[in-house]
Amino acid sequence: MTSSGQIKKNNTAPEAEHRALPEGYGTTEAALLPRDPNWMFIYWEITDTSKTNTCKEHGEDVFQKGRQVIRVYDMTEVDGSGPNRYFDIPVMLEAKSWYVNVVESGRAYCCEVGLVMPDGKFIGLVKTNTVNLPGGRVSDVTDEKWMSVSADFDKLLQLSGVEYIGKGSGEVAKSLAQRWEMLRAVFSRASSWGVSSMSSQNLPKQPEQQKKFWLVADCELILYGATEPDAFVTVSGRKVNLNPDGTFSMRFALPDGVVDLPVKAMSKDETDSREIDIKVTRATTTDGK
């Protein structure tokens, strides 16, 4: 996959769709997702109504007095009497998401975002689902029927190539990237791979092969900015896709000469616009050695 953007023939009208995602959904809720044997991801939304209700119930100043935490419960082997172990991670409620590290893999966890009061009382604000983390290692459970094979199991593990874990679909991307890095190392040149070039490419001069000492250098241009997330932005007349927060950045090849980059933004309702014109001049000289 080598392409880097879309082509729009008549890039005049802002696309109605390109609005930012909702900030929230107006519901107090949280979710916990497994990342790997020792990490989970939690996100939450706590509405103002929920906060007001908490204040009503526990006192107007609970949010000032209480420490904001994620309480992580170990839900493994709970016999209906509630979780038996937990620990707290200090957090800001505004963070809205967090990565949670647990020492013990292979267990079930659930989180609750809440407040720890000075007297030690915990006020829960929102609770997540329960996640079962993988063990990340060979099981201790051996079928009675197959107990006799345990001595050979290490060898079987080796044969199975367990040391290669994680060499999956990314492996090709990685190996191609390595080759690309290698090419760049001996020969600096941007291609369409990850670089959207507006200018046709001129290959820089090669180092002379017979000499041991050599130097190659090149540079590229990164243009960045930000506007309202729903604005319509063009650079040199081409539409730019904004990130959900309204920021944008583009990377260009930078040949010798003058590059003109007019940046235009138009508000969603097309009543307001701003323009910034950037001119970049590049002049490369070498000592000719």
User: Which residues within the stretch 156-195 sit at the binding site for another protein (CB under 8 A)?
Assistant: 156-157, 159-162, 164-176, 178-180, 182-183, 186-187, 189, 191-194
User: What is the rounded CA–CA span in Å between residue 124 and residue 117?
Assistant: 11
Alpha helices (H) along 103-186:
153-159, 170-186
Binders of another protein among 240-259, rule CB under 8 A?
241, 243-244
Question: DSSP class of residue 184?
Answer: H
The backbone torsions φ and ψ at residue 204, rounded to the nearest 5 degrees and listed phi first, read -70, 160
Binders of another protein among 15-54, rule CB under 8 A?
17-22, 25, 31, 33-37, 39, 41, 43, 45
Q: Is 3 in the site for another protein (CB under 8 A)?
A: yes
Per CB under 8 A, the segment of 12-20, 46-54, 78-86, 118-126 that binds another protein is 12-20
Q: Is 224 in the site for another protein (CB under 8 A)?
A: no
Q: Is 213 in the site for another protein (CB under 8 A)?
A: no
Alpha helices (H) along the chain:
48-58, 62-65, 153-159, 170-186
Q: Which is nearer to another protein, 176 or 219 (CB)?
A: 176
Per CB under 8 A, the segment of 86-94, 112-120, 237-245, 260-268 that binds another protein is 237-245
Q: Is 103 in the site for another protein (CB under 8 A)?
A: no
**Amino acid making up residue 74:** D
Task: Determine which residue in the list 92, 103, 141, 217 makes contact with another protein, applying CB under 8 A.
Answer: 141
User: What is the rounded CA–CA span in Å between residue 188 and residue 205?
Assistant: 10
User: What is the rounded CA–CA span in Å between residue 267 and residue 275?
Assistant: 12
Would you tell me how many other CB atoms lie within 10 Å of the CB of residue 221?
16
| Least spacing, CB of residue 252 vs another protein, in Å | 11
